[in-house]
Structure 1
Amino acid sequence: MISIEGLRKVFKLNNNDITAVDDLTLTIPEGEIFGVIGYSGAGKSTFVRLLNRLEEPSSGRIVIDNQEITALNSKQLRLARQGIGMIFQHFNLLWSRTVEANIAFPLEIAGVPKEERARRVQELIDLVGLSGREKAYPSQLSGGQKQRVGIARALANNPKVLLCDEATSALDPETTNAILNLLVDINQKLGLTIILITHEMHVIRKICNQVAVMEQGRIVEQGNVLDVFTHPVQSVTKKFVQQIMGTNEEEDDITNLIDNYKDGTLLKLQFIGEATNQTLISEIAKRFDIHLNILQGKITQTQAGGYGTLFVQVMGEQEEIDRAVSFIQEQTSVEVEVIRDVN
């Protein structure tokens, strides 16, 4: 488990104090893929560099795997960092070294014997899908392959925590998905705790279990990804959710539906988690003497489950429609909103 209490980082700039991380307190469970999202300048990259003391905290306490990182001296910190891997946006590879030599570098620093080093490097090359590219140099690799080298290097010393600072920001969408799938695979196979720093909500959606939203150096909202997606509270969170869920588009769609479908009652149904797999519409049609017309719908998947929106036109006697709406309201993980009722 990672425990962070009152973490603060203040930089001096032209005799002015700039607070990059401000009284941040957070608990991250062991084995979690935990996302931290924020716009540029929110303090998220400074935060992740504080975790392994690439940046020194101004104040606060960081405990990783029962070891207080903020209390270690230089020698102790060097040893502790072997248990904290890190991958970067721009790969940070050694361009004069081959793939296998880049991966071996932290093992050399740790004093691992040559034969053991070679065996570990080959394990990691196989794990990240770079078999056959052992002798290639970074200049001969694609962006995705370079990041795979960076991931393998970060895993060399069997860390318990992997820090990812904008690890997919320099990659195209297809390569991004491949790298995210690799991180999920690593998390499941090795039981690593992964902290993922990003400004891209689709990255959070795809692989994170929990998310914290940063603004002006503070955590302004956090929780289960599905909960944050379906019920964002802070304005900055709503903007991020809007990127992936198309909230503005949905508002336009509602206006168009009201204009184009003049008869009956229009319902907006929201399905959360397991409810996206239920045959609710079929059940309603069987139970009640009403006519249903599905107008529009979509399902967005997150690591924690699906989130779906469905627009339905309902026609029939008002009493029967009211009974159907009541039935929907009784369902777990389904929310219903009457967006127009002309009966």
Structure 2
Amino acid sequence: MISIKGLSKVFKTKHQEVKAVDDVSINIDKGEIFGVIGYSGAGKSTFIRLINRLEEPTNGDVTINQTNITSLNIGKLRKERQKIGMIFQHFNLLWSRTVFENIAFPLEIAGVSKSERKEKVSELIELVGLKGRENSYPSQLSGGQKQRVGIARALANDPDVLLCDEATSALDPETTDDILDLLVSINKKLNLTIIMITHEMHVIQKICHRVAVMDQGKVVEQGDVLDVFVKPQSKTAKRFVQQLSPLEHNQEGLHRFVTNDSNSEVVKLHFIGNDAKRALISDVLRKYVVDINILQGSISPTQEGAYGTLYVEISGDQKVITETINYIQSSGVEVEVIQDVD
């Protein structure tokens, strides 16, 4: 669907060159929600603007549906851009136009007849949940409603790809979740390929299938969201995951809950996918004569399944503890014995 190869962007100033995007290569499947995450200055917003050539690449190729976007002349590029919708952090609405008129604007530019525009805009207003607000102006809307207008406008020309540049950064957490739910719904209904640019790991966790992590213009890690969450490889990815689920990477304070029994082991259990839904502790207590003290834990859902971490203290006969740990491991749950919790 989307093939990005060796994409680079160099900004030249009087005194230096800044490589905002540095040799990025990514493949994105049709119908996928693909996330790109990074801290400020990582190059992610420049990257997404290179995809539809709002920024001209210095090197590299972007191919969408077998059309090389980077090689098109201006006339052909304008036509291809109609197949690439885009929504922005600060909405970019026309403040002198109503909701209806904002959504209709790209259809006007495309030369769609008035009757067809009316029918299409009405469908989109229904799709994004703005029925009854057709004649409102942006100043009369909440942030979430403004972004819904932006989404409807981006969908006006029936694009194959939707680019989202920090689309939820200006919204409160509850509204962010509403907009993310809407994007998931649109993705499923229209089989629309969505690229999400964000600095919020919650956004990646909630709706993305795969993710690329950017740092200083480079992609330092990419893969399935669940894989990156469970076993982050790069320093940047580890920082993001730790912010979202600090318990998984912070063992400080465990000693406050440990019984200090000499016949006990503190272990970290890591659940992935369907294992996160199992009543494992109950199962273990039925099979083995041990006591289990739950110290702390967390569980998080993703589009590809849940993952979670649980710290427990297992007390009893040492041989039985070993058998218990072996049983847990044989059940598909990762087990790490914590040697020092002081």
The equivalences for 1:276-315 within 5 A come to: 276-315=276-315
Deviates more, 1:90-99 or 1:15-24: 15-24
User: How much does 1:288 deviate?
Assistant: 1.8
SS in 1 for 2:335: strand
**Aligned partners of 1:8 and 1:243: how far apart in 2?**
29
Q: Is the 8 A contact 1:83 1:159 kept in 2?
A: yes
Deviations along 1:180-212, one digit per CA (max 9) or x if unpaired, are: 111001001100000000011111111111010
State the shift of 1:340 in Å: 4.4
User: Is the CA contact (8 Å cut-off) linking 1:164 and 1:196 kept in structure 2?
Assistant: yes
Closer/same/farther in 2, CA of residues 146 and 111 from structure 1, 3 Å limit: same
Distance 2:28 2:106 in 1: 26
AA aligned to 2:137 is: Y
Deviation at 1:249, TM superposition (A): 7.3
Unpaired stretches in structure 1, ≥5 consecutive residues: none
Worse overlay, 271-280 or 153-162? 271-280
Structure 2 match to 1:186: 186
Per the alignment, residue 336 of structure 2 pairs with 337
In 1, are the aligned partners of 2:63 and 2:69 still within 8 Å (CA)?
A: yes
Q: Residue type of the partner of 2:151?
A: I
Paired residue type of 2:236 = V
Q: Identity over the aligned pairs, expressed in percent?
A: 61
Q: Given that residues 34 and 211 in structure 2 are in contact (C-alpha distance below 8 angstroms), is that contact kept between their aligned partners in structure 1?
A: yes
Deviation at 1:285, TM superposition (A): 1.4
Give the Å deviation of 1:120: 0.3
Residue pair 1:33, 1:194 contacting (<8 A) in 2 also: yes
Secondary structure in 2 matching 1:14? coil
What corresponds to 2:145 in structure 1?
Answer: 145
Contact 1:265/1:341, CA 8 A, preserved across alignment: no
Residue 56 of structure 1: how far off its partner (Å) = 0.5
User: In 2, distance between residues paired with 1:195 and 1:45?
Assistant: 11
Q: 1:261 to 1:120 in 2, by over 3 A?
A: farther
Deviates more, 1:306-315 or 1:73-82: 306-315
Name whichever of 241-250 and 80-89 sits farther off.
241-250
> How many Å apart are 1:12 and its aligned residue?
1.2
- For normalisation by structure 1, the TM-score amounts to 0.96
Aligned mates of 1:159, 1:85 — CA distance in 2: 6
* Cα-to-partner distance string for 1:264-293 (whole Å, 9 max, x where unaligned): 222211111110111221221122222223
Question: Partners in 1 of 2:315 and 2:260 — Cα distance?
Answer: 11
**TM-aligned CA deviation for residue 309 of structure 1:** 1.4
| CA deviation profile, 1:80-139 (whole Å, cap 9, x unmatched) | 001000000000000000000000000000011110110000000000000000000001
Whether 1:217 and 2:194 are equivalent positions in the alignment is no
Q: What amino acid is the match of 1:20?
A: A
CA deviation after TM superposition for structure 1 residue 143, in Å: 0.5
Secondary structure of residue in 1 paired with 2:253: helix
Cα distance between partner residues in 2 of 1:233 and 1:70: 32
Corresponding residue number in structure 1 for 2:168? 168
Q: Partner of 2:93 in structure 1? A: 93
Deviations, residues 284-307 of structure 1 (Å, cap 9, x unaligned): 112222222333322111121111
Q: Which moved more, 1:110-119 or 1:323-332?
A: 323-332
Farther-moved stretch of structure 1 (109-118 vs 12-21): 12-21
In structure 1, the residue matched to 2:317 is 317
Residues 34-55 of structure 1: CA deviation (Å, up to 9, x unaligned)? 0000011110000000000000
Tell me, in whole angstroms, the C-alpha distance in 1 between the residues paired with 2:280 and 2:340: 21
Is residue 92–residue 150 contact of structure 2 (8 Å, CA) maintained in 1? yes
Alpha-carbon contact 1:49-1:55 (below 8 Å) kept: yes
Describe the superposition over 1:205-254 as per-residue Cα deviations: whole angstroms up to 9, x where unpaired: 11111010001111000111111111111111111111101148732233
**CA distance in structure 2 between the partners assigned to 1:299 and 1:15 by the alignment:** 49
Structure 2-normalised TM-score?
Answer: 0.96
CA distance in 2, matches of 1:255, 1:195: 43
What is aligned with 1:74? 74
Specify the code of the residue in structure 1 equivalent to 2:330. E
Shift of 1:262: 3.8
Kindly tell me the number of residue pairs found equivalent between the two proteins.
340
Aligned to 1:27: 27
What's the C-alpha RMSD, in Å, of the aligned pairs? Answer: 1.6
Q: Which residue of 2 aligns with 1:118?
A: 118
Q: Structure 2 stretches of 5 or more lacking a match?
A: none
Asked if the contact 1:33–1:208 (Cα under 8 Å) also holds between the matched residues in 2, the reply is: yes
**Paired amino acid for 2:109:** I
Question: For the residues of structure 2 that align with 1:157 and 1:199, how far apart are their CA atoms?
Answer: 28
